[in-house]
Amino acid sequence: MTVPKRIGKIRFGLISPQEFRKMSVVKVITADTYDDDGFPIEMGLMDPRLGVIDPGLRCRTCGGRPGECPGHFGHIDLVAPVIHVGFAKLIRKVLRAVCRECSKLMLSDLEKKEFLRQIRTLEELGQPTEDVVNKVFAEARKHKVCPYCGAPQGEIKFERPLSYIEDGHKLTPSDIRDRFERISDEDIMVMGMNPETARPEWTILTVLPVPPVTMRPSITLESGQRSEDDLTHKLVDIIRINQRFQENREAGAPQLIIEDLWELLQYHVTTFLDNTVSGVPPARHRSGRPLKTLSQRLKGKEGRFRGSLSGKRVNFSARTVISPDPNLSINEVGVPLEVAKELTVPIMVNPRNIEVVRKYVMRGPDNHPGVNYVTRSDGRRVKITERNCQEVAQQLEFGWKVDRQLADGDIVLFNRQPSLHRMSIMAHRVKVMPYKTFRLNPAVCPPYNADFDGDEMNLHVPQTEEARAEAEILMRVQENILSPRFGGPIIGGIHDYVTGSFLLTHKERRLDREKLMEVIKKLDITDIPEPAGYDENGDPYWTGKQIFSLILPKDLNLTFKADFCSNCPVCKGEDCENDAYVVIRDGVLLRGTIDAEAVGAFKGKVTDRIIKEYDPGVASQFLDRMTLLALRGIMLAGFSFGISDEDVPKEAAEQIHDVTRSAKESVQKLIEAYRAGELEPLPGRTLEETLEMRIMQTLGKARDSAGQIAGRYLGLDNSGVVMAVSGARGSMLNLTQMAACVGQQSVRGERIKRGYTDRTLPHFKRGDLGAEAHGFVESSYKKGLSPTEFFFHAIGGREGLVDTAIRTSQSGYLQRRLVNALQDLEVNYDGTVRETRGMIVQFKYGEDGVDPSRRDYASPDNVHRIIRKVLAGENA
């Protein structure tokens, strides 16, 4: 076993040519890879000393088999030095800072001493030295004459990608290297480098390391042809040019040819390191595809860091579209049969389960739930087929591992990106189903922030007992009903669940025996309460409140105001004529309407009380039954919303028109008063600001009263109102905009005027300050917008879109930084918060050591309730 090691420190520097040679196991001199028999050629790019990838062979350096041998570096001796692209900027800075003759850093000794001192202090404090170092380069560059030898300095021009031009002459990498070699250790330290680990001349390559074959394996195509890695292709180019260069130089070729070849060598080494340098045409494959070279392997989303280390693809996972299924428990997830046949759970065969496991194996892979693979004690894996399943089943022994297909009741992790909080991954029980989507109860949409407009989700199958236990105890949906964010239930009714509960429980909804049965037939309830009364025919009837009481725990006591409460100036409490004051006594809903405030996600007072007073199991059962009941409730009543639901009677339309017209008139009066200089400025405001505020106020009021007029004609017989009032979806404002008046459009909280001079559109007179000219939309959505209104509405609408786009990206980045800083912190059993080294961050979690999801809104009311309960228990 490998022993975990603690990393003491990491030091970054440059590798010297000596070090490159030292770590090299072979000097590569030939561009060939394999010989005709398919064996790697010695001193070639696939030299067996560089590591092994072919099965059956052993590494000539370490003796390891493929997989064991990490691979070993070789090297190429470059005929002439070339610049390392990554250091182009540093080379430019150093070139400009040192003397062309004596290679001294062009600063006075005193300055050098002072800068060095500053750098040392910053280093000791563990702070970045970048600013000081930049100052060093900036100061040294100012000298036109060397303060040491007096040599006049030429201007050094940098031309993309890699040319340094001094007095019209291009400096060769050799020239630069020569200059850098003569820089003293002291000067290097002033430039912020450590001469022992990073000398400036090491940025000019004379030796090129050849990466081990393990990081550039060749693949054999079906045709038997070998296909080499992009890096190998690039190395071949480098070696070829290197060879030609040497031959030409030895043959005494003309300077022009030598320069061309040098340039070419530089090009190949550059693209080997980075194939996206601007100004350098990317090296391409024969097919025209740009090669993926070293820096492309690391950079970006698909690169080694973000693509392979921070996140990677995993086994035992599945992804598909989600769709709703209210008949599932909130703890369940519907898994398509096709997925269930692919994913497996390992079972270790033992004396207790061998007969059961044997039955699974005998089913084969096609007969769900069957078995896909069997692993024997010696580690040999057998794929189960229709043909061998009987045979393998008979051979089964203790200690074998059987990969059983996913079946009902297995525990899996279910996830939707972006995983912003811990409820983004929860554990569900599998329910294998036909068709191709994952199914979930819509009540669990809020924690995932999922909807069904094409959202996809991921599913993972835990593979060990420990993982399964942990998932079941900590990650089950029912364990996550309470959100640690606000201490209330994040899981609960949405949309039709809320509407359904509302319709079922509002006022006195009477159901005869047949309807009662219809509503509760999906529930596991067998005891029917006494009828609430008998109708004129003498037939018994039950109320919706009675039926809802069936799913409440028998000793639940709770009173609260419904979402639907209109916040009357004096609350009449239990006598509320709107039926908005909920009273639950001993598990019976006596008064009030069940709406979003009672069972909705994020609110759910009833859910909240049940989970805190009983346990998550009771709460999840309540939610399961509530979802079934609510849907029956809505189906019983029948519920739809259409364009005609936005209609208001003629007299209402006239009243609304009167309101908007008089509002526009008073806006005109305000403008006239302003023009006449009669407007009184509000404290701290200019006259113009005052006018704008008064206009906004007037028009805002007009929209509100238009809404009120519409509201008077839209009662609870309107399904839009039912949804808005119960908290299921939408608001009265939405309805107002649809039925009465859309209202003022705004940009940055002002009327539409930003970016315009004199007028917003040619439809208006210059200098018009009136309501229509600055984005007041008098029409309703139902009526339709006039062309100018439509234009202003588009302006206001776009601001909303831009805001959301900006907000999500900003909050996403903020979240990333926060999570990166906090992810390894841990709350210990003694209540302290510590990081991985054991350093204490907080002596008590959150300073008070309280889990926010159990805090019960930190209300003293709840303490009183508990005391009352305890006292009642003692008296009984």
Partner 1 sequence: MKRFAVQDHELVPEHILLTPEEAQQVLEQYGVEARYLPKIHVTDPVAEEIGAKVGDIIKIKRKSPTAKESIFYRLVID
Which is closer to Mg ion, CB of 36 or CB of 453?
A: 453
> Tokens 């900003």 — which residue?
810
Residue found by looking up tokens 């690391």 in the block: 298
The nearest distance, CB 831 to partner 1, in angstroms, is 10
Q: Contact with Zn ion (CB under 5 A): which of 14, 57, 102, 122?
A: 102
Question: Of the two residues 36 and 124, which places its CB atom closer to partner 1 in the complex?
Answer: 124
Interface with Mg ion (CB under 5 A), residue from 451, 508, 654, 835: 451
Strand pairing partners for 780?
Answer: none
- Please identify, among the stretches 196-204, 207-215, 451-459, 754-762, the one whose residues bind Mg ion according to the rule CB under 5 A: 451-459
Residue number with CB closer to Zn ion (65 or 319): 65
How far is residue 472's CA from residue 550's CA, in Å, rounded to a whole number?
A: 29
Residues 6+ apart with CB under 8 A from 255: none
Q: Which stretch binds Zn ion (CB under 5 A): 184-192, 525-533, 570-578, 782-790?
A: 570-578
Q: For the sheet with 344-348, list strands across it.
A: 344-348, 401-405, 371-375, 381-383
Q: Which residues contact 332 (CB under 8 A, 6 or more apart)?
A: 428, 429, 430, 431, 440, 441
Site for Zn ion in 579-618 (CB under 5 A): 580
Instruction: Judge residue 237's burial from the number of C-beta atoms within 10 Å of its C-beta, 0-12 exposed, 13-18 middle, 19 or more buried.
Output: buried
With CB under 5 to 8 Å by kind, the binding choice for 146 among partner 1, Mg ion, Zn ion, none is Zn ion
Given a contact cutoff of 8 angstroms between Cβ atoms, the answer to whether 795 and 775 are in contact is yes
DSSP bridge partners of 511: 542
Neighbouring-strand partners of residue 209: 75
Nearer to Mg ion, 269 or 601 (CB): 601
Q: Which does 455 bind (CB under 5 to 8 A by kind): Mg ion, Zn ion, partner 1, none?
A: Mg ion
Nearer to partner 1, 124 or 680 (CB): 124
Identify whether the C-beta of residue 788 lies closer than 8 Å to the C-beta of residue 772. Answer: yes
Which residues from 626-645 bind Mg ion, rule CB under 5 A?
none
Token code pair at residue 332: 């369940």
Q: Choose from partner 1, Mg ion, Zn ion, none: what does 716 bind? Cβ within 5-8 Å by kind.
A: none
Q: How many residues does the chain have?
A: 876
If one asks whether residue 527 binds Mg ion (CB under 5 A), the answer comes out as: no
118-126, 320-328, 443-451, 547-555 -> range binding Mg ion (CB under 5 A) = 443-451
The nearest distance, CB 837 to partner 1, in angstroms, is 8
- The site for Mg ion, by CB under 5 A, has a size of 3
Check binding of 99 to Zn ion (CB under 5 A).
Answer: yes
Region 540-569 residues binding Zn ion, contact defined as CB under 5 A:
565, 568
What Å distances lie between residue 693 and 235, 335, 685, 690, CA to CA? 71, 57, 10, 5
Structural tokens at position 171:
């400096």
Pick out residues in 129-148 that bind Zn ion (CB under 5 A): 146, 148
Nearer to Zn ion, 49 or 341 (CB): 49
* Contact (Cβ atoms closer than 8 angstroms) between residue 584 and residue 613: no
Q: Which residues bind partner 1 (CB under 8 A)?
A: 830, 832, 834, 837-841, 843-844, 846-850
CB-nearer residue toward Zn ion: 140 or 494: 140
Which C-beta is closer to Mg ion: that of 456 or that of 574? 456
4: cis peptide before it, omega within 30°? no
**Rounded Cα gap, residues 148 and 833, in angstroms:** 58
Helix (H) or strand (E) holding 137: helix 130-141
CB of 60 or CB of 431, closer to Zn ion: 60
The entry of Mg ion, Zn ion, partner 1, none near residue 215 (CB within 5 to 8 angstroms by kind) is none
Decide whether 102 or 618 has the Cβ nearer to Zn ion: 102
- The entry of Zn ion, partner 1, Mg ion, none near residue 579 (CB within 5 to 8 angstroms by kind) is none
Q: Which of residues 148-187 bind Zn ion (CB under 5 A)?
A: 148-149, 151
Task: State the binding partner of 346 from Zn ion, partner 1, Mg ion, none, CB within 5 to 8 A by kind.
Answer: none
Q: Least distance in Å: CB of 838 to partner 1?
A: 5
d(CA 53, CA 212): 10
**CA dist 637 to 197, 325, 505, 529, 842, Å?**
80, 20, 11, 22, 55
Contacted by 451, from Mg ion, Zn ion, partner 1, none: CB < 5 to 8 Å by type: Mg ion
Residue 61 interacts with, from Mg ion, Zn ion, partner 1, none (CB under 5-8 Å by kind) = Zn ion
Choosing among Zn ion, partner 1, Mg ion, none, which partner's interface includes residue 565 (Cβ < 5 to 8 Å by kind)?
Zn ion
What's the min distance (Å) between Cβ of 605 and partner 1?
24
Binds 62: which of Mg ion, partner 1, Zn ion, none (CB < 5-8 Å by kind): Zn ion
Nearer to Mg ion, 114 or 325 (CB): 325
- Nearest in space to 777 (alpha carbons), one of 664, 867, 650: 664
Q: How far is the CB of 561 from Zn ion (least distance, A)?
A: 6
Residues 6+ apart with CB under 8 A from 771: 663, 664, 667, 695, 699, 778
Q: Which of 86, 524, 501, 529 is nearest to 298 (CA)?
A: 86
Partner whose binding site includes residue 69, from Zn ion, Mg ion, partner 1, none (CB under 5 to 8 Å by kind):
Zn ion
Q: Could you tell me which residues are beta bridge partners of residue 145?
A: 152
Q: Which is nearer to Mg ion, 729 or 834 (CB)?
A: 729
H or E segment and range at residue 338: helix 337-342
Please, which residue, 196 or 848, has the CB nearer to partner 1?
848
Residue 455 interacting with Mg ion (CB under 5 A): yes
- In the chain the first and final C-alpha atoms are separated, in Å, by 62
Beta bridge partners, 682, equal: none
Give the separation between CA 38 and CA 794, rounded to whole angstroms. 68
CB of 434 to partner 1, least distance (A): 51
3-state secondary structure of 27: strand
Cβ nearer to partner 1, comparing 816 with 844: 844
Are 604 and 630 contacting, i.e. CB atoms less than 8 angstroms apart? no
Out of Mg ion, Zn ion, partner 1, none, which partner does residue 570 contact, by CB within 5 to 8 A per kind?
none
d(CA 376, CA 651): 83
Shortest distance (Å) from residue 455 CB to Mg ion: 4
- Report the nearest approach of partner 1 to the CB of residue 125 (Å): 11
d(CA 216, CA 384): 35
Instruction: Considering the complex, state which of residue 367 and residue 449 has its C-beta at the smaller distance from Mg ion.
Output: 449
Q: Nearer Cβ to Mg ion, position 175 or 455? A: 455
Indicate the residue among 327 and 832 with the shorter CB distance to partner 1. Answer: 832
- Nearest distance, CB of residue 542 and partner 1, angstroms: 47
Q: What is the 3-state secondary structure (H, E, C) of 526-556?
A: CCCCCCCEECCCCCEEEEHHHHHHCCCCCCC
- Which two structure tokens, joined as six digits, stand for 377? 């004690």
Spacing of C-alpha 470 from chain mean position: 24
User: How many angstroms separate the CA atoms of 166 and 178, rounded?
Assistant: 15
3 state DSSP class of 439 = strand
Nearest approach, Cβ of residue 322 and Mg ion (Å): 9
The C-alpha atoms of residue 577 and residue 556 are separated, in whole angstroms, by 24
Positions in 44-63 near Zn ion (CB under 5 A): 51, 59, 61-62
The strands making up 558-561's β-sheet, listed across from edge to edge, are 558-561, 581-585, 588-591
CB of 855 to partner 1, least distance (A): 9
Which of these, 43, 33, 126, 27, lies nearest to 77 by C-alpha position? 27
- Which of residues 397, 453, 678, 861 is near Mg ion by CB under 5 A? 453
Pick the piece of the chain touching Zn ion (CB under 5 A) from 95-103, 202-210, 517-525, 640-648. 95-103
Pick the binder of Zn ion from 101, 139, 325, 647 (CB under 5 A): 101
- Binding residues (CB under 5 A) for Mg ion: these are 451, 453, 455
Contact residues for Zn ion (CB under 5 A)? 51, 59, 61-62, 64, 69, 99, 101-102, 146, 148-149, 151, 565, 568, 571, 576, 580
